Chains A and B, each alone.
Chain A
Amino acid sequence: MLAAVPTDESRTLELFDLALRIVSDKGVIPDQLMAHFDAVLDQAKQLVASPTKVEGLISPQAIQLACRMRATSELMAAVAPVTSLKVVTPDQASRILSSLEERVAP
């Protein structure tokens, strides 16, 4: 195979990953994509803290991200200061992306 193709795991986080790639490339991010990123990250942090205490509907994207955060300390550290995609710099986005690289849970 010439290049890696998306797997179940990477497809789940596709939009989260896409938002980071656009920031990293200094592109323009649609508002909806930004809102998606913020919602997924916020819920993933709640899930990492307490997976059975999250209120409301839990998104599979947030669960997947929480699994990756639990599995990768670099990712956990890279997203810790991030509260919104608005404040993420291209360097930060690259750092999160590299720690988010395909890695199967756990």
Chain B
Amino acid sequence: MRPRLDLFLIRDSLRDCQETTYFSGKLHKFTAQLLDVIEYVLQNEKSLSEDIVRAFASHALGANRYLTGSTTKESPYEIEYCLQSVVPKWSKRDCYITTALTDGRDFHFEPTDPWAFVKTALPGFDTNGFDPLLVQLGVPRVYSHKPLYCIPLYHELGHFVDVSNGVTNLSVLIQAPNSTPEYRHRMEHFADLFAASYIGRCSIRALEIIAPGNQSSATHPATADRVKLVDDFLADRQTGLIPLFQTCLQHLKLPPLQREFDPAPVKTAFDDIRTYPIATTRELHGIFGSAWNYFEDSLDNRSPPWVASAPTDADIERIINDLTEKSIRNASIRERWNSGATP
């Protein structure tokens, strides 16, 4: 449990990560750099403040957890690809998305910024300008290859954008909330609006299914209030917190929340059990709403090719999630091919 001993364990785990086949080049470099800092800290521990070593060990441990999750073939590559395309608009720094698979049903976001810590608290280590942010997301293992069930990750990415820029906190300074729950509710509303701006109403439709009729709690607003605000936003109605958030984004020199998607007309392709050829980044995000609508319609109406009792509901879910996943994967392969990118 001593920070120094933890660093030995983390070092071994990160070395294992580097040997996995499924590791991306970017994360490989991130891990190599992190290993170098660990060596630096272990070699210079006596000259460093104990508080610095302990805090660094905490960063390394957190990064290790999510890097480990991103090394397995279970990692939700397709949705990570979609989220990765969102990030440059909201952060001036490189951001790497990593995922930890959870055994529960929760999606979560955990903030960390190990390189800001290294540059500021360990200035003796030269990062050579390497300072990407790590966006650490938690994904239920059972949903990891079901992109339509991973829709809440857009909401979690909204929390990252909020926390890493201070949007909700600035709103507190401009217009103080009346209570701590109200502050927390603002954070959820911002994440809801952020998700809706990229994938439309399916972001909140998922909530209506998971938590229908949920009342307001200490941490989350009532489902009905969340649905209403998202519906207002998508209908271009400037109600509730929407103008306040837009003001904060403007002060932070960030873009406004606005529609960032176009519907992807998947019906013809999916009816033929073919993938849909995604043409633009806006369609890349739009496919979630389009595929979700197609999925619900197929379950409820059983129009061809989903007629009668075969295929089962489970078959429909599996096939439509599969078609969505493969459509996104094809888009990513085409993009990499066209850009001549290396893995």
Q: Contact residues of A with B, CB < 8 Å?
A: 6, 8, 11-12, 14-15, 18, 21-22, 25, 27-33, 36, 47-48, 51-52, 54, 57-64, 66-67, 70, 104-106
**Is B52's CB under 8 angstroms from A60's CB?**
no
Contact residues in A for B119 (Cβ distance below 8 Å): 32
The residues in B between 237 and 271 inclusive whose CB is less than 8 angstroms from any CB of A are: 247, 251-253
Instruction: For the complex, give the distance between the alpha carbons of A78 and B164 in Å.
Output: 26
Closest to B113 in A: A11
Tell me whether B49 is interfacial, beta carbon within 8 Å. yes
Distance to closest chain A CB from B273 (angstroms): 43
Given contacts A12-B163, A58-B166, A63-B169, 20 further A-B contacts (CB under 8 A): A11-B112, A12-B166, A15-B116, A22-B52, A28-B49, A30-B121, A31-B123, A32-B123, A33-B120, A51-B173, A58-B170, A59-B166, A61-B166, A64-B166, A67-B173, A104-B184, A105-B172, A105-B183, A106-B172, A106-B176
Tell me whether B306 is interfacial, beta carbon within 8 Å. no
Q: Contact residues of B with A, CB < 8 Å?
A: 49-52, 55, 58, 111-113, 116-117, 119-124, 159, 163-166, 169-170, 172-174, 176-177, 179-180, 183-184, 247, 251-253
Distance to closest chain A CB from B200 (angstroms): 27
Instruction: For the complex, give the distance between the alpha carbons of A58 and B55 in Å.
Output: 25
**Is B253's CB under 8 angstroms from A57's CB?**
yes
Instruction: For the complex, give the distance between the alpha carbons of A88 and B234 in Å.
Output: 50
Closest to B177 in A: A106
Distance to closest chain A CB from B128 (angstroms): 16
Instruction: For the complex, give the distance between the alpha carbons of A29 and B52 in Å.
Output: 10
Distance to closest chain B CB from A36 (angstroms): 5
**Is B120's CB under 8 angstroms from A15's CB?**
yes
- Nearest 5 interchain pairs by C-beta: A60-B166, A63-B166, A51-B173, A27-B49, A63-B169
Distance to closest chain B CB from A79 (angstroms): 16
Instruction: For the complex, give the distance between the alpha carbons of A48 and B172 in Å.
Output: 11
Distance to closest chain A CB from B138 (angstroms): 14
Distance to closest chain A CB from B35 (angstroms): 22
**Is A18's CB under 8 angstroms from B52's CB?**
yes
Grouping DSSP codes into helix (H, G, I), strand (E, B) and loop, the A interface class, with mixed when no group exceeds half, is helix
Instruction: Name the contact of A51 in the complex, choosing from B52, B116, B120, B174 (C-beta under 8 A).
Output: B174
Instruction: For the complex, give the distance between the alpha carbons of A21 and B54 in Å.
Output: 12
Given contacts A22-B52, A25-B49, A25-B51, contact A67 B172 (CB under 8 A): yes
A-B contact pairs, 28 of them (CB 8 A): A8-B159, A8-B163, A12-B111, A12-B166, A15-B121, A22-B49, A22-B51, A25-B49, A25-B51, A27-B49, A28-B49, A31-B123, A32-B119, A32-B121, A51-B170, A51-B174, A51-B251, A52-B251, A58-B251, A60-B163, A60-B165, A63-B166, A63-B170, A63-B173, A70-B176, A104-B183, A105-B169, A106-B176
Distance to closest chain A CB from B52 (angstroms): 7
Closest to B253 in A: A57
**Is B121's CB under 8 angstroms from A67's CB?**
no
Distance to closest chain A CB from B279 (angstroms): 35
**Is B112's CB under 8 angstroms from A27's CB?**
no
Instruction: For the complex, give the distance between the alpha carbons of A70 and B180 in Å.
Output: 13
Instruction: For the complex, give the distance between the alpha carbons of A8 and B163 in Å.
Output: 7
Closest to B116 in A: A15
Closest to A28 in B: B49
Contact residues in A for B184 (Cβ distance below 8 Å): 104
